[in-house]
Chain A
Amino acid sequence: KQEVTQIPAALSVPEGENLVLNCSFTDSAIYNLQWFRQDPGKGLTSLLLIQSSQREQTSGRLNASLDKSSGRSTLYIAASQPGDSATYLCAVRRSSGSARQLTFGSGTQLTVLP
């Protein structure tokens, strides 16, 4: 059974810092990995999706990497802003079988202090 772990559970940084969020998964047979952002009381917003054949994806100040063999992904946020404050979730999708669902980590709650 796939298990996804996110460390740290919470992180507080001053504005302007670069930061890294970590995600690890136990089964490397994945189809893709997706990073989401969730604001309090809201749904999930897709940030980046990395296919299993890819090593990284970039969007603006965000960069996500994937090392499938070691079961790890990182989300790098450059020049953090107070508006980046949210919970960040990573999720992996199985590569085979009938199941198509994502397995989520518990998230990292990020606070960027002005």
Chain B
Amino acid sequence: GAGVSQTPSNKVTEKGKYVELRCDPISGHTALYWYRQSLGQGPEFLIYFQGTGAADDSGLPNDRFFAVRPEGSVSTLKIQRTERGDSAVYLCASSLSRQRVNTGELFFGEGSRLTVL
């Protein structure tokens, strides 16, 4: 597609429920990132994929958070047993791999706003 697409744009759920957030990166971008942004703060890194594998998941806050990218394109961020503190905007970004000639520029989607009641 023309840009990074994220769905849903808004998700309201109850504490303890399971949530999936989807990211469709720019076509041809091999690197994909998930970030979380709380109100008034800059985005915080969660996980980075190079192709199908998670190259760096050091930003995931705990084992309730998990992300997959089975075919190296679309990625899903999964949150189990949601807590009120998980409420935030979850942003996805993509870029070309560093192994190719590129600037390393990241392109972000509009985000998925998660509210846990």
Contact = CB atoms under 8 A, between A and B. Distances in A.
Contacts, number: 69
Interface in A58-108: 89, 91, 93, 98-107
Interface stretch (B11-19, B37-45, B64-72, B78-86): B37-45
A101 B110 contact: no
Interface residues of A, number: 26
A44 B104 contact: no
A100 B48 contact: yes
Contact of A99 (B56, B106, B108): B56
Nearest to B50: A100
Given A89-B42, A103-B45, A46 B107 contact: yes
Contacts of B105: 32, 34, 46, 49
A101 B104 contact: no
**Size class of the contact patch on chain B:** 20 to 34
Interface in B1-47: 4, 6, 31, 33, 40-45
A69 to B, nearest CB: 20
Given A34-B105, A43-B109, A51-B103, A98 B56 contact: yes
A100 B103 contact: no
B117 interface: no
A99 B42 contact: no
B72 to A, nearest CB: 16
Contacts of A36: 108
Given A49-B105, A91-B106, 15 more contacts: A34-B105, A34-B106, A41-B113, A43-B109, A44-B43, A44-B91, A46-B106, A51-B104, A89-B42, A91-B42, A100-B33, A101-B56, A104-B42, A106-B40, A106-B41
Interface of B: 4, 6, 31, 33, 40-45, 48, 50, 55-56, 58-59, 91, 93, 98, 103-111, 113
Interface of A: 4, 31-32, 34, 36, 41-46, 49, 51, 89, 91, 93, 98-107
